[in-house]
Amino acid sequence: MSQPRAPGGVGVDLHVEANPAEGRRAGLERALRDAVRDGRLAPGARLPATRRLAEELGVSRGTVKAAYDQLVAEGYLTARQGAGTRVAPLPPLSAEPPEATARARVPRFDLRPGSPDVGTFPTAAWLHALRRALATAPSRAYDYGDPRGRIELRTALAGYLGRARGVVAPPERIVVTSGYVQGLSLLTRVLEGGTVAMEDPGLPFHREVVRRGGGRVVPVRVDERGARVDDLEDIGGTAAVVVTPAHQYPTGVILHPERRRALTDWARARGALVVEDDYDGEFRYDRQPVGALQGMAPGHVAYLGTASKTLGPALRLGWMVLPPHLVDAVADAKLHSDHHTESIGQLALAELIDSHAYDRHVRACRLRYRRRRDQLLDRLGARRRVRGIAAGLHALVEVDDEAAVLERAAMEGLAVGHLGEHWHAPGGVGRPRGLVVGYGTPRERVYPEALEVLGKVLELGH
DSSP state of 171: G
Query: Residue 93 domain-assigned?
Result: no
Query: Residue 277 domain-assigned?
Result: yes
**What pLDDT score was predicted for residue 429?**
62
Identify the domain boundary among 313, 338, 355: 355
Beta pairing partners, 319: 176, 305
Instruction: Look up the pTM and report it.
Output: 0.83
Task: Tell me the CATH number at 372.
Answer: 3.90.1150.10
Any residues with CB less than 8 A from the CB of 210 and at least 6 apart, and which?
A: 184, 188, 196, 198, 217, 242
Any residues with CB less than 8 A from the CB of 5 and at least 6 apart, and which?
A: 11, 12, 48, 49, 52
Say how many CA atoms lie within 13 Å of 374 toward its Cβ: 9
Residues 405 and 316 in one domain: no
Q: Give dist(CA 407, CA 8) in Å, integer.
A: 57
Residues 52 and 194 in one domain: no
Query: Residue 462 domain-assigned?
Result: no
Q: Give dist(CA 267, CA 327) in Å, integer.
A: 18
Residues 349 and 245 in one domain: yes
**What pLDDT score was predicted for residue 443?**
87
Residues 197 and 251 in one domain: yes
Phi-psi region of 145 (alpha: psi -120 to 50; beta: other; left: phi over 0): beta
Average pLDDT, the chain: 90
Per-residue pLDDT of 11-61, as tens digits, reads 577 888 888 788 889 999 999 999 998 888 999 999 998 888 888 888 999
Residues 42 and 114 in one domain: no
Task: Tell me the CATH number at 16.
Answer: 1.10.10.10
SS3 65: helix
Number of domains into which the chain is organized: 3
Residues 332 and 375 in one domain: no
Query: Residue 144 domain-assigned?
Result: yes
Residues 150 and 261 in one domain: yes
Percent of the chain predicted with pLDDT > 90: 73
Query: Residue 168 domain-assigned?
Result: yes
Lowest mean pLDDT among 84-98, 222-236, 368-382: 84-98
Per-residue pLDDT of 200-249, as tens digits, reads 999 999 999 999 999 999 999 999 999 999 999 888 788 999 999 999 99
Residues 367 and 351 in one domain: no
Query: Residue 320 domain-assigned?
Result: yes
- Confidence band (pLDDT; 50, 70, 90) for 460? low
Q: Give dist(CA 246, CA 319) in Å, integer.
A: 17
Q: Give dist(CA 393, CA 247) in Å, integer.
A: 10
Query: By residue range, what is the domain housing residue 17?
Result: 7-87
Q: Give dist(CA 195, CA 220) in Å, integer.
A: 12
Contact between 393 and 439 (Cβ < 8 Å): yes
The whole-number average pLDDT for the span 180-188 is: 97
Q: Between 79 and 346, where is the model more confident?
A: 346
Residues 366 and 291 in one domain: no
Query: Residue 104 domain-assigned?
Result: no
Amino acid identity of 277? Answer: D
Identify the domain boundary among 338, 355, 372: 355
Residues 79 and 154 in one domain: no
Query: Residue 38 domain-assigned?
Result: yes
Residues 313 and 383 in one domain: no
- Confidence band (pLDDT; 50, 70, 90) for 142? very high
Beta pairing partners, 177: 318
Q: Residue 102: pLDDT above 50?
A: no
Residues 249 and 295 in one domain: yes
Task: Tell me the CATH number at 219.
Answer: 3.40.640.10
Contact between 231 and 221 (Cβ < 8 Å): yes
